Structure 1
Amino acid sequence: MSSDPETPQIYELPPRLAARLNRPARKSAAASSRRSSMSSLHSMRSAKAPHPRLNSAHIAQELRRTSIIESRKARLADRAAHAEKVRLRAQQVKSAPRTSRGEDRALAAQQAREQHLAQVASNCAEEVKRAKKIAEETREKRSAEYAKLREEMNERLAMAEKRRLQYQQNYRRHRASSQATIDQRKSMLGIKEPLTEKSAAKLVQKAWRAYQRRKILSDFLDLKLDIAHVQSKTFDEVSKILSQDEVIKKTGRLMKLCGLQDVIGGPGGEITAIRTFLSAFLLLGHPQYVLSHEGDREEELMDRAKVLLLQFQRVVSRQPTELNFSPNSPIIASLSEAYSDFQLAFEAWKNHDSTNFIETMLAQFAELDAIWQSVKNDTTGHVAADYKEGIRYNQTIVLARLKRLIGPEKALSLVNDAVKARRRSKGTKRPTGDVRPRSTTTQQSVSVQLEDTPPTDPISAPDARITSSELNKVISPLPENRVVVHELLVNKDYRIELDTASEARQKLSRTVFDAMRRDLSTGDGDQWIMSMASILRNKILRVIPNGKPLYAQVSETIDLDVIKNQLSVGSFSYHKFFSFMNNLLPKLVSPARDPLVKAFVADTGDDYVERLAKLMNIVDLLSLDYSNYLLMCSAPELIKHAASYEQSCFAKQFANLPLTKTKQWWRNARDKALSDLASRPDQSRPTSISSQKIYTVGLADTFISVNPFEDSIVPETLELDISRIKKTRNEILKMMVISSIILTAKNLLKRDVRMRWKTQVNRMWDLPESTAFTDPSPYLSILESTQAIPPATKNSLAGTIDRVLTDARSTPAISHPVMKVLLQKIRSHILGRLIAASSEERLRLATSASEVLSAGGLAEFVDRIGLIVEELGKIKQVDWDAHGKWLDEVAEEVARDERS
């Protein structure tokens, strides 16, 4: 706006605008900033250039934009590729099967466990292989040492004998000098110098010792105790000779002279050493009586006994003047070494054999306790008084022997365990829980009367019309009174069991309820409902005491007249009936049946017949529990009158019927008893025999047999024991099979037959019935799991098992010799104990049962055979008391037929 354009004027800004516009300059960006780049500076300069027409500025700007865009595209492409990679990884993880942390841990633990077990198995296999190798090397080394020692000993003996012969052949008197010495002249002239007291004492002592040695040796030689003399006499004679005090005294003096001392020590060590030495004569003279079998220990013992007696024979065969009894003498040292080896081997064999002896004595003690438990409650026949003293005396002897062998505390502990185990095996199986009905807890007294029960008639046709009493007899699970009384006589702890698994009972119940369902569907089931109501009413009221409020409630609710009127007008309600029973049953049944009642109450289906069947089952269990309660309370009174009751029942059943089967059974038993007596040595066939012995033989043949069971072989007097006969026959067959296998295995493995293999036998006994006599593999696997069996022995044992099972399946054609011998031993043992007349004889046989059966290869079945003997003894007594009159008549009739 100045008029003078040549001189421009400068104007100052106001303070407020100057302060706003004149701010401090911003700091430069970082070196990595886009504005500090060369392209950015170049573009800024080109933009501020005074000549914008130049194309270089535009070109730089375009290049910068292009580079920025390309770098951004590259970064975006990298980000997209990374995002796609992450998305694919997430998709793979999502699609992969998911496993929980617990499953992973379990899988890892299982893999680690398998690896550990495989490692342990490989280590164990290596250890077993190493142990076997070491044992084999030790055995070979020991055998080689024994062979080497035996050869050296033989060589020494041969060299000594050779030197002795050479000395005898080349012996010549040494040439003496021509001039005798002064002492020789004096001796020739009989001139002796006087002896001193000391030298004279030495000469006397030397002569006395020589005399004592000669006397000790001559006293022993007078006994004529050598192998040839021992073998020429029987075992009993030799045992009697060796047990004489004179023989023991003379042998002890000679052993002391030879320096044979007791190696084991302890009280009575001197007598033990003498008896151990004398036992070598028995071992070599009668090994079949001393050793039960041939094993490694027995072979070693026989070899050392032979070496000992050979060395001893060398000593006693020489003259006393030729022997030097000093311990440094070679012949005495050899004898002492041989005796030490024999004594150690004898102690090892005796300790191994004492284990079986202890088990046998424990079985004897338990058998005596079982006999006492069976007769202690007998007061009428005075059996307890006869047995008490004998049982106590024998138990005292057995316990004293056990205390002497293993100590008082251990003996008492083992005896208590054996008695408890025997009593547990004898006890009956009881249902778990309280099975007493709740309604019986308030009853003060119980009385039971035996009433005759007519035989039950089955349903002849599915659509038959039957009354309530007939239907009750058909579907009732309770046995007849005669059966209950008979079982109570045989077993005073007998309790009735519900045989719900019986095929006949299931078939019968199914037939009854199918007929009921069919009639209900056609509208003709009123008679069925009335019969079922009558059965339920009678069974429930039988359990409830009369006069209780619950008794009146049941009587009013299950009123037969009311139910009949409701059925006639069609107003009977199944829902109300089952609701009443749902409320009633928990008040009646025992606590042990509560789960079954809860399941019945929870069932609200429309199949009333099925619900009624379940209800009848629960009421049957209620009646069963109540009957067992009454039976437990009244058992002592029932047993008093049981024999007369069974006689009356038998008389009514066979009043006009001939006892055909009993007569034939008696005839067969009589022939068998006479043939058994005639087969004994130095006896002819007898003409008469007692009735008790004939009956016992027939009873034993009926129960102890492997022939197929037939009803015709069972007499009418034993018809109530058919189930017991079948059970006992099956047990006898199983005993024969298992004992044959175990006995063969012991003989092949050179084990003692008296040793009890309880674990193996129990596992074989528990094999299922379906495969017990068909599959041989379980038996072999059980033996392999407990015994190391070589391949050759395994093949032989497998063949034996196959033959035994084949014979068991093809009874009565048993051809295996071991099974035949075992059956004969079982029969003879049981028959001998049943025939024993006096209590002393029965007690003696029971006490020696363990030894007899163990020696016969039945060591594992001593308890089971004892239970069979006890059961057969009770059956014999019960049957003879109830049917003795008829059996005597049959015996007289058979005798008349024989005479005619």
Structure 2
Amino acid sequence: MDDVALSDAELELAAAELTHDDDIPEEPDMILSEDAENSEHPPSFVPPPRIAARFYSAAGSRRISSAASSRRNSISSTHSHTSTRSFRNSCQSHHVAQHLRRTSILESRKARLADRAAHAEQVRLRAALAKAAPRGSNSEERALAAKQARERHLAQVAASCAEEVRRAKKIAEENKERKAAEERRYRQEMEEKLAEAEKRRLEYKRNARRPRTASSSPPADVKKLALPRPVSPEDAAKRIQAAWRARTRMNVVDAWSDLGLSIDKVHDTSFEDITALLAEEKVLAATEKILALFGLLSDADEAARGTAVRSFLSTYLILGHPAHVLSRDGDQEQDLIQKAKDLIISFETALGKLATFNHYTPSPTGMENVSLAHGTFMTAFNDWKARDSSALIETMVASFVSLDAIWQSVKDDTVSEVAIEYKNGIRDNQAILLSKIKKLAGPDRALTLIRKAIRESRKSRPRKRPAGEVARPRVAIDSPTPGSPIAGTDAALHNDAATQLQQAGSAGEGHQAQSLSEVFTVVPPNRVLVHELSIDKEFRIDASPTANLRDALNRELCDSMLRGFENGESSMWTVAMSENIRAKLLHLLKPGNSMHSLISETLDPELISRQCSQGTFSYEKFFQFVANILPKLCAPFRDDEVKALADDLQEEGSLPEMVEKLFKLLHTINNLSLDYSNFLLMNAAPTLLKEATGYEQRMFAQDLEEGNITLKRTQRWWRSAAVNMHTEADRRDPWSQPTPLNRPTPQKIYARGLVDIAIATPPLRESELPETLELDRARIARIRDEALRITTIGGILLTAKNLLKRDVRSQWKNDANRMWETLKDGYLKDPATPSKISSLLESSHAMPPTTRAQLSSTITRLLTQAEAGKLNDPVMKVLFNRLKTHIFNRVSASSSGERVKAASTATEGLTTAGLPEFVTQVSDICEQLTKISEVDRRSHGKWYEEIAEEMERLGAEGDELMRTDSAESASGSTGSSSSE
């Protein structure tokens, strides 16, 4: 731009010079100049100062022309110079040349300025396009470059470390081999010396001693004795047999040497190939002969010999492929590897000393070393095999029992086609497990273990109450009187039950009326009742939530009655209490029943009022009447309780004892009312289940229309689950294109959201739970507590196993169950809880003081984190994430086949995750979440579909917007390239 500015200044200067008219001579001046030239004394011509400065400038300041476009090389400049050489040329030609020269300069400069302006405009356009084009920030580029550089550096460090480790291992192996070679050499030399000495001793014994003589030369008779004697047939046979045995031993050694078995060969060969090689008959036969040569085979049956041969060959597999043979890397496995190495070293050492001079006979020292090493290895091998097989057997038995539990839960709760599909899948998996268990434990022991485990599992599961006569009040079993409502059809009974439940559910309007209704009745609202029945078909009303409050109210009522008796208000309290009891008893019966008429007439309030006013009312007769009626109204399973109450009512007592009898009577009548409500619910359950889905949909839609609830929390919950699923899918395959087949399905998204909200640390906050799962709030909160308890106990047991160097796959079920019961009431509500947990573990497993102290501190730390609901310990985090992943895999299974497969591998998965003791608890959690999922998706599937469609629409619009922006950016880049 400086050049451009300079050119503009020069251009203005040249234009200013051209505007001076007096600088360019006119024609008259030129004519006068010619006249002056012809005169005698021609006047001297003096050019204007500016022209003189151009033509007579200093030599140092003159510009040297170096280009064809120079002004001094131009035509006008040349013409100007030639025109000024002779004064005879007129001044007019001089000025014309000068004018042409100036015009040429101006034109050339204008052309250069135009080119520069065009170039500057092109540069400005390119800069604007480059500035407008979308591009990543420099920070992202730098971060990416730093990440790549870090990864390269880490890869280099890892490679260098691996190389150092490999070099150190190589040096250690070389040192071991060198020491072993030296030891073999020393032993071989010693064996050779001993053999030579033994040979000389035998030679000395064969040759007779020379008798002592004075002469140094042996006598003739001695020479005759030294001559070889004829060999007897027995000696010849012995020598032949010895040679034959030596030849046989040599063939055995040569056959083993031809196999070429060594640790290096096994390590370099793949596990499948070396397994196939060791299973060949030729290898087994050669191994059996070489082991017999060293005396390592007993004279047992063929099966025992074959087992010993395979056990010896397993040493090569253990040393060559420890990762494939051993399931873990514990102390017992390391000890087994060391003993296998000692056996191979002693065996190869003794084998290397077999040669012709010792007739391929192992020395006693070598055989002793090999025998000791073999016995030590077999002991360690059998211990490891027994522990490993017992862990596998326990795992497979637990899987078998888990499949049986699934079948027990679905055989009566599903339709026939689904039940048959479940049955086939479960039987196939159980057959596979049974065959594996029989191979490891034997047929008899396998059947015993499975029967015992199934019996314990079925006993531990809550037994379903049969819809029989046990839970029914006797008034419903007795033959109905003519005209009684019980004599109607089943449909009428269902309608009546539904009507009573409706009346009990809507006992009052308003907050106070609803609160009183919840206190004085145990029947939940209709929507809660229908929802609980949908999840559990055997659901029964439980009085425990309000039992204590109702007992407290009855106790206050009886105390007030006692004070009223002391104040002389006995008649009023007697009439009120009898009317209350009469109403409760009539609630258990239907109008028109003989028992209903009897109670109504006997406990008439007006009759009792007249008796009290006349002083003829007797509490003994009142209690006797009630004691005779209650056994006829109760269910069979309450016979003992009602009989004890009836005996108590018929006993005489003081006024306080009479009031206490009234309290017990009210408590028993409340229980009978609960039994009657459950009886009505049992009869109405089929009708209610048919309409459950539609009823929940209508109630939820009504709440939405009235504005009682919104779907904001549900939308946020679904969006979070969808983002998590898509993020996991991108993490699994970051380079693939997002095809529709790879996108998570709505069922997977729902399962992810359900597991995320259920398997989390307590407490369950109001903002976390979607509106559609509001009725399952207590259930989800309970699942959260159970998941945290499983993780806490699993972390404690895993730490104890590691400190005691036990197998983490072993199941400490007794310890886990006792800790489960101990932590039911809280983690640190009782300050002695950590010491109780430590005592439980110490009573079952002996441990040194240091281990006990370390384990105690770990238990305190884990319980503190569990009480706070924050899992900061790495072990707790890993266990919790593994538990969450396991439950998600089982809950997200869509078909019955996938569920059976997930259940059959559940025990193995939990064992791998470090939670082998909690198969039953985790199965219960998965079953509860599955039922919640089925009921919730049937009831609120329409709203979930709307939310999913809205999210897909927003996602499609976002993708379309991104594609549009990319297209515009691409078109802009193309336009800028073409302009350049």
Instruction: Give the alignment's TM-score, normalised by structure 1.
Output: 0.67
Q: CA deviation at 1:781?
A: 1.0
1:664 is aligned to: 716
Q: Is 1:394 matched with 2:434?
A: no
2:789 is aligned to: 734
Q: Which letter does structure 2 place at the counterpart of 1:761?
A: A
| Mapped partners of 1:570, 1:702: distance in 2 | 67
Q: Is 1:554 matched with 2:602?
A: no
CA contact (8 A) 2:184 2:349 kept: no
Deviations 1:664-711 (A, max 9, x none): 221222222223333336666958421111111111122211142213
2:388 is aligned to: 353
Note the 1:328-367 alignment, pairs <5 A. 334-335=369-370, 337-367=372-402
Q: CA deviation at 1:214?
A: 4.5
| Mapped partners of 2:723, 2:557: distance in 1 | 49
Note the 1:175-324 alignment, pairs <5 A. 214=254, 217-218=257-258, 220-221=259-260, 226-228=262-264, 230-231=266-267, 237-238=270-271, 240-244=272-276, 248-259=280-291, 268-269=303-304, 271-287=306-322, 290-292=325-327, 297-314=332-349
2:851 is aligned to: 793
1:782 is aligned to: 840
Deviations 1:782-836 (A, max 9, x none): 111122211111121111111111111221x311111111111111111111112
Q: CA deviation at 1:424?
A: 2.0
Is the alpha carbon distance of 1:265 and 1:873 closer, same or farther for their aligned partners in structure 2, counting shifts above 3 Å? farther
Q: Which letter does structure 1 place at the counterpart of 2:257?
A: L
| Mapped partners of 1:666, 1:517: distance in 2 | 59
Q: Which letter does structure 2 place at the counterpart of 1:644?
A: G
Note the 1:531-542 alignment, pairs <5 A. 540-542=585-587
Note the 1:403-552 alignment, pairs <5 A. 403-428=438-463, 436-442=472-478, 447-449=493-495, 450=498, 452=502, 474-499=519-544, 540-544=585-589, 547-552=592-597
**2:905 pairs with one of 848, 863, 877:** 848
CA contact (8 A) 1:541 1:554 kept: yes
1:650 is aligned to: 700
| Mapped partners of 1:324, 1:663: distance in 2 | 88
**1:715 pairs with one of 756, 765, 770:** 770
1:832 is aligned to: 889
Deviations 1:370-418 (A, max 9, x none): 1111221255372212121221122223223333333333322221111
CA contact (8 A) 1:677 1:685 kept: no
CA contact (8 A) 2:554 2:666 kept: no
CA contact (8 A) 1:485 1:639 kept: yes
| Mapped partners of 2:921, 2:408: distance in 1 | 16
CA contact (8 A) 1:366 1:418 kept: yes
Is the alpha carbon distance of 1:325 and 1:885 closer, same or farther for their aligned partners in structure 2, counting shifts above 3 Å? farther
Mean alpha-carbon deviation: is it higher for 744-753 or for 856-865? Answer: 856-865
1:93 is aligned to: none
2:408 is aligned to: 373
The number of aligned residues is 704
CA contact (8 A) 1:363 1:863 kept: no
2:760 is aligned to: 705
| Mapped partners of 2:387, 2:615: distance in 1 | 84
CA contact (8 A) 2:608 2:617 kept: no
Q: CA deviation at 1:460?
A: 6.2
Q: Which runs of 5+ in 2 are unaligned?
A: 1-176, 195-238, 480-486, 958-980
Note the 1:764-783 alignment, pairs <5 A. 764-767=819-822, 769-770=824-825, 772-773=827-828, 774=831, 775-783=833-841
Is the alpha carbon distance of 1:598 and 1:649 closer, same or farther for their aligned partners in structure 2, counting shifts above 3 Å? farther
CA contact (8 A) 1:391 1:843 kept: yes
Q: CA deviation at 1:622?
A: 1.1
Q: CA deviation at 1:716?
A: 2.3
Is the alpha carbon distance of 1:786 and 1:692 closer, same or farther for their aligned partners in structure 2, counting shifts above 3 Å? same
Task: State the secondary structure of the residue aligned to 2:386.
Answer: helix
Q: Which letter does structure 2 place at the counterpart of 1:777?
A: S
Is the alpha carbon distance of 1:814 and 1:485 closer, same or farther for their aligned partners in structure 2, counting shifts above 3 Å? same
| Mapped partners of 2:860, 2:245: distance in 1 | 76
Q: Is 1:678 matched with 2:730?
A: yes
Note the 1:569-580 alignment, pairs <5 A. none
Is the alpha carbon distance of 1:285 and 1:640 closer, same or farther for their aligned partners in structure 2, counting shifts above 3 Å? farther
Deviations 1:38-80 (A, max 9, x none): xxxxxxxxxxxxxxxxxxxxxxxxxxxxxxxxxxxxxxxxxxx
2:51 is aligned to: none
| Mapped partners of 1:408, 1:154: distance in 2 | 49
Deviations 1:399-442 (A, max 9, x none): 233333333333222211111211222215979x9654232222
Q: CA deviation at 1:456?
A: 6.1
Task: State the secondary structure of the residue aligned to 1:767.
Answer: helix
**1:865 pairs with one of 918, 922, 936:** 922
| Mapped partners of 2:640, 2:540: distance in 1 | 16
CA contact (8 A) 1:457 1:474 kept: no
CA contact (8 A) 1:544 1:551 kept: yes
Is the alpha carbon distance of 1:550 and 1:664 closer, same or farther for their aligned partners in structure 2, counting shifts above 3 Å? same
CA contact (8 A) 1:662 1:715 kept: yes
2:875 is aligned to: 818
CA contact (8 A) 2:910 2:919 kept: yes
Is the alpha carbon distance of 1:639 and 1:276 closer, same or farther for their aligned partners in structure 2, counting shifts above 3 Å? farther
Deviations 1:232-258 (A, max 9, x none): 67xxx51x2243267543431331241
| Mapped partners of 1:323, 1:787: distance in 2 | 54
Is the alpha carbon distance of 1:865 and 1:470 closer, same or farther for their aligned partners in structure 2, counting shifts above 3 Å? closer
Deviations 1:273-318 (A, max 9, x none): 4442343234334545544556664343222111123245557889
Is the alpha carbon distance of 1:630 and 1:711 closer, same or farther for their aligned partners in structure 2, counting shifts above 3 Å? same
Q: Which letter does structure 1 place at the counterpart of 2:528?
A: V
2:641 is aligned to: 593
Task: State the secondary structure of the residue aligned to 2:544.
Answer: coil
| Mapped partners of 2:560, 2:715: distance in 1 | 44
Q: Which letter does structure 1 place at the counterpart of 2:725?
A: A
Q: Which letter does structure 1 place at the counterpart of 2:858?
A: T
| Mapped partners of 1:482, 1:885: distance in 2 | 18
1:74 is aligned to: none
| Mapped partners of 1:294, 1:866: distance in 2 | 29
CA contact (8 A) 2:713 2:771 kept: yes
Is the alpha carbon distance of 1:208 and 1:473 closer, same or farther for their aligned partners in structure 2, counting shifts above 3 Å? closer
CA contact (8 A) 1:365 1:395 kept: yes
Q: CA deviation at 1:157?
A: 2.0
Q: Which letter does structure 2 place at the counterpart of 1:552?
A: S
Q: Which letter does structure 2 place at the counterpart of 1:624?
A: L
1:752 is aligned to: 807
| Mapped partners of 2:607, 2:698: distance in 1 | 40
Q: Sequence identity of aligned pairs in percent?
A: 36
